[in-house]
C-alpha cells in the first residue's frame, strides 16, 4: 500500500472528528502541490535524475481560508526561483480590504463619484452596515496581527518613507501621512516591519512610530535610509542611534535644481564621479574636489554639497555587496507606488481605520510575496553588522 493510501485510510478512520473535512482538504491540496513542484523540478522528492532542473528547499507555512475553515498548508520552497500554488489568491486580502473600505464609504455617504461608480459596478448598492462591519472585522484582525507581530533578530538596514492620502476628519477632508518601514535582517530577507497613519511627518509622530518598532523587538539597526526630512532624521538619531543615509536619488534631484537645464548633465556626471569611488575615503576626497569646482559657477549647489556630504556618502562605509540597495529609498518607492495605485481607487477615506485597513492589507500581501522570493541581499557582510554575534565554542575533551 502506498503512503498516499495509508494517509487517506488514517483520515477516514478519523471520520468522527469535526476536523475531518479540513484534514482531508489539506491532504489533497498538499498532494497536488507536491505533484506540481515535482513537475517544476523535473524529478520527484529525493529522486536522482539527470532531468532534474530544480530542487526543494523546505516549506513555508500559510493558512488557507476556505468554506471548511482555516486550513494550515505547507507550501514547498525551491532553491532556485519561487513557487506559489495557483489555487491561492495572492491578492485576495487587499482586494477584500479595498471592497471593505469602499463599502464603508458608501454606507456612510462620503464616497466620491468615482467610488460610487465602482460600488455600483461591484454590485454593492444594497450593502448593509452589518455586512460591512463583519467584513471589516475579519480584515482588521489579520492586519492588526501582522502590524503588531514581534520582531526577532537583528535588522541592520531600515528604509523609512511616507506617502499621503485623503481622509475625512471632523467633517473636513484632510491630508494624512502614511509612514511605512521596511528592513532587511541578517539572513538577507526583506520584510515590512510596520506602518502608521498620522496628521503630518512631525518629529513626535516619527518618534512614536520608531519607538513602537523598538517595543516590538526592532534592534541592531546600523543604517536608516530615508529622504531629507528633519523630523525623521531627529527621531532616528534619538531612538535608534544609527547612521543616517540620505537618499541619493532625492539628493540628486535637489542638486540639479540649482543648475540650468543645459548644464544638468554635466553636473550629474561630475557628482557621480564621487559615487563611483571604491572606498568611503576616496569618495569624500572626490566629493570635495567636485564641490569646489562647481562652487564657482553654482554657489548654492556647492553649499548644498558641503551640507550633505556626510549624509549622502554614508552607505559607502558599509559592505560593497549591499551598496546598490542601500544608497536610496528606491526599494520602498516601488512599494509606495503600489500603495498609491490602490488608495487612489478610494479617493477619500472615511476615517483613519479605513486607511490602516487597506494599506495594511497591501503590506501584508507584499510581505508574503517577499517571503516566497530568494534573499533580497547577499549574506556577505551581514554577519559583520551584528552587535553580539553568536559565540562558537570549541569542544573540550576532559
pLDDT at position 284: 94
Read off the DSSP letter of residue 29. Answer: H
Give pLDDT, residue 269. 93
Give φ, ψ of 175 to 5 degrees. -90, 130
- Picking from 295, 310, 160, the residue whose alpha carbon sits closest to that of residue 225 is 160
Helix (H, G, I), strand (E, B) or coil at 126: coil
Judge whether 214 and 317 are in contact, CB under 8 Å.
no
State how far the Cα of 166 lies from the Cα of 164, in Å rounded to an integer.
Answer: 7
Q: Cα–Cα distance between 77 and 184 in angstroms, integer?
A: 20
Angle, in degrees to the nearest 10, between helices 113-121 and 92-107: 120
Q: Which helix (H) or strand (E) holds 101?
A: helix 92-107
**What SS3 class is residue 244?**
strand
Q: What are the phi and psi torsion angles at 243 (to 5°)?
A: -70, 145
Q: Give 302-315 as a DSSP string.
A: HHHHHHHHHHHSGG
Domain residue ranges of the chain, discontinuous segments joined by +: 3-78, 248-327
CB distance 164 to 328 below 8 Å: no
Q: Are 98 and 135 in contact (CB under 8 A)?
A: no
Give the per-residue pLDDT at 39. 85
Can you tell me the distance from the alpha carbon of 240 to that of 220, in angstroms, rounded to the nearest whole number? 9
Strands 157-169 and 223-226, how do they pair? parallel
Contacts of 10 (CB under 8 A, 6+ apart): none
Nearest Cα to 330, choosing from 142, 161, 109, 114?
A: 161
Q: Are 160 and 181 in contact (CB under 8 A)?
A: yes
CB–CB of 273/265 below 8 Å? no
**How high is the pLDDT of residue 21?**
65
- For 383, phi then psi, to 5°, come to -65, -30
Closest residue by Cα to residue 13 from 3, 29, 2, 24: 24
According to DSSP, residue 91 is labeled T
| Residue 78 region by backbone torsions, left for phi larger than 0, else alpha for psi between -120 and 50, else beta | beta
Axis-axis angle for helices 352-372, 129-147 (nearest 10)? 50
Residue 394, Cβ neighbours under 10 Å: how many? 4
* 71-366-116-104 Cα dihedral, nearest 10 degrees: 60
- Reference 291, options 180, 237, 283, 382; nearest CA is 283
Whether the CB-CB separation of 358 and 339 falls below 8 Å is answered with: no
* pLDDT at 190 (0 to 100): 93
Between helices 92-107 and 330-346, what is the axis angle to 10°? Answer: 40
Give me the residues paired with residue 225 across strands.
Answer: 159, 245
Q: Where are the beta strands (DSSP E) in 289-382?
A: 348-349
Question: What is residue 43's three-state secondary structure?
Answer: coil
Which residues neighbour 113 within 8 Å (Cβ) at sequence distance 6 or greater? none
Kindly state the cell numbers that stand for 377.
Answer: 541581499
pLDDT tens, N- to C-terminus, the chain (398 residues): 445 444 545 544 554 444 666 777 777 788 888 888 888 888 888 888 888 888 888 888 877 766 556 778 888 888 887 777 776 655 566 656 656 666 555 445 445 455 555 555 555 555 555 656 666 777 788 889 999 999 998 999 999 998 999 998 888 889 999 999 999 999 899 999 999 998 877 888 999 999 999 999 999 999 999 988 888 888 888 898 889 999 999 999 999 999 888 899 999 999 999 999 999 999 999 999 999 999 989 999 999 999 999 999 999 999 898 999 999 998 888 898 888 888 887 788 888 888 898 888 889 888 988 888 888 888 887 877 776 554 444 444 44
Q: What grid cell was written down for 291?
A: 564641490
Amino acid at each position: 500500500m502506498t503512503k498516499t493510501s495509508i494517509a487517506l485510510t488514517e483520515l477516514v478512520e478519523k471520520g468522527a472528528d469535526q476536523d475531518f473535512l479540513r484534514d482531508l482538504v489539506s491532504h489533497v491540496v498538499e498532494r497536488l502541490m507536491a505533484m506540481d513542484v515535482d513537475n517544476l523540478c523535473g524529478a520527484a522528492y529525493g529522486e536522482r535524475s539527470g532531468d532534474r532542473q530544480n530542487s526543494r528547499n523546505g516549506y513555508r507555512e500559510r493558512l488557507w481560508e476556505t468554506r471548511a475553515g482555516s486550513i494550515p498548508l505547507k507550501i514547498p520552497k525551491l532553491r532556485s526561483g519561487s513557487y506559489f500554488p495557483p489555487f491561492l489568491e495572492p491578492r485576495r486580502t487587499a482586494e477584500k480590504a479595498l471592497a471593505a473600505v469602499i463599502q464603508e464609504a458608501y454606507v456612510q455617504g462620503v464616497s466620491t463619484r468615482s467610488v460610487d461608480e465602482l460600488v455600483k459596478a461591484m454590485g454593492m448598492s444594497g450593502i448593509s452596515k452589518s455586512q460591512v462591519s463583519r467584513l471589516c472585522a475579519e480584515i482588521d484582525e489579520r492586519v492588526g496581527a501582522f502590524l503588531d507581530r514581534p520582531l526577532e533578530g537583528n535588522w541592520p538596514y531600515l528604509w523609512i518613507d511616507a506617502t499621503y492620502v485623503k481622509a475625512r476628519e471632523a467633517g473636513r477632508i484632510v491630508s494624512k501621512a502614511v509612514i511605512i518601514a521596511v528592513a532587511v535582517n541578517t539572513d538577507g530577507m526583506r520584510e515590512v516591519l510596520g506602518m502608521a497613519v498620522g496628521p503630518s511627518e512631525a518629529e513626535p509622530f516619527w518618534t512614536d512610530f520608531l519607538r513602537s518598532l523598538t517595543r516590538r523587538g526592532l534592534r541592531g539597526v546600523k543604517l536608516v535610509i530615508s529622504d531629507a526630512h528633519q523630523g525623521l532624521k531627529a527621531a532616528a538619531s534619538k531612538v535608534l542611534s544609527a547612521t543616517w543615509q540620505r537618499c541619493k536619488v532625492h539628493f540628486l534631484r535637489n542638486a540639479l535644481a540649482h543648475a540650468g537645464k543645459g548644464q544638468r548633465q554635466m553636473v550629474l556626471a561630475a557628482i557621480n564621479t564621487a559615487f563611483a569611488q571604491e572606498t568611503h575615503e576616496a569618495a569624500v576626497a572626490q566629493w570635495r574636489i567636485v564641490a569646489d569646482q562647481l562652487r564657482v559657477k553654482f554657489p548654492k549647489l556647492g553649499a548644498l554639497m558641503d551640507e550633505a556630504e556626510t549624509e549622502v556618502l554614508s552607505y559607502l562605509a558599509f559592505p560593497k555587496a549591499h551598496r546598490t540597495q542601500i544608497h536610496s529609498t528606491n526599494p520602498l518607492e516601488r512599494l509606495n507606488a503600489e500603495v498609491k495605485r490602490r488608495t487612489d481607487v478610494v479617493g477619500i477615506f472615511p476615517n483613519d481605520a479605513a486607511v490602516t485597513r487597506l494599506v495594511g492589507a497591501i503590506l501584508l500581501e507584499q510581505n508574503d510575496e517577499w517571503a516566497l522570493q530568494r534573499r533580497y541581499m547577499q549574506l556577505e557582510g551581514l554577519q559583520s553588522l551584528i552587535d553580539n554575534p553568536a559565540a562558537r565554542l570549541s569542544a573540550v575533551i576532559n
